[in-house]
Amino acid sequence: MLEFDNNWKALLQPGQATTYFVGHQNIPFQPEEAAFSRANAWWLAELSRLIYRQERNELGSAAQPPTRQDILNAVGLQEIAFFDNNGTQGALVASARPDPDTFAVLVFRGTNALGDWSDNVKALSAPDFRLEPWPRGGQVHLGFSQALERVWEAIESELAKIQGPLFYTGHSLGAALATLAASQRPPRALYTFGSPRVGNQDFAATLATCPTFRVVNNRDVVTRLPPPVRGLCHVKELHYIAHDGRLLTNPSEDLVGTDRQLDDLTFDLERSLVDRLTGPPQFLADHAPINYVAHLERDLFSTTH
């Protein structure tokens, strides 16, 4: 079972992990399921974590095996396209073999460097952030809209070739981009992890017919940014990981607020005193992709065993 990791490296350099999809043989993806699926949430969280892993085209000789393709092939998947334009990155992943359960996933990468991560948090926290009209309706965060625009034409070209169920996903900035993409071209379902607010209520309404599942890990600070001003709101449907690991569907704001005051035992689990003093606070550690996966894995096994 995947261990929690509450250190800075897990938060700021998630692409340096090498272990993914532990026990996947016992957790098949459910491509026909449009409703919330714990199995699908786990798979898509892993893909959202894996996309941070950089390869030779990005790192040159510093790249280390295994590659994303190696990891995907081991679980019956393949990366059929990678998108990269001025900092906006993502991939189209699909079943490696044609069979009745074939499916595809559009996964966007979040911020993958310390400087960029810090700048993004500052930008999301700034009181003077800009909104712009969204073609499908409402208004959205200007930075997110511009980021998607850089790669959307190339993505649409690849999506036109896809046969079978299609899912969108992403973590952090990647979650915001997946949300915008789902408004543009709705998938079978959208799963996001650690997503910031993307647009206003009228924008959220453009996703009314798209099954949308927003997973939030306890105190994750990015999910509270940008602040809920100028009509900014989250899209449905909230799946909240409580302090005790329970996955709650659409809990009230009061319940979430109360729960965030309670101690999360996994935060200090197996950490040395030095790590506790020098590591990230919980509201940052809860944003690490690996901690989303570890929680979802435990929730999945607790409901199936």
Tens digits of residue pLDDT in 131-159: 999 999 999 999 999 999 999 999 999 99
Cα gap 125→255, rounded to integer Å: 24
Q: What mean pLDDT value characterizes the chain?
A: 90
- Hey, where are the domains in the chain? 8-304
Q: So what's the pLDDT on residue 100?
A: 66
Name the β-bridge partners of 106.
92, 168
Q: Any idea which of 98-102, 204-208, 231-235 has the lowest mean pLDDT? A: 98-102
Q: Give per-residue pLDDT as tens, 242-295.
A: 999 999 999 999 999 999 999 998 887 666 777 777 889 999 999 999 999 999
Largest distance between two CA atoms of the chain: 52
Rg (CA), the chain: 18
CA dihedral (35, 38, 43, 44) positive or negative: positive
pLDDT score for 125: 65
Task: Give CATH for domain 8-304.
Answer: 3.40.50.1820
Residues 6+ apart with CB under 8 A from 100: none
pTM of the model: 0.94
Element (H, E) at 29: none
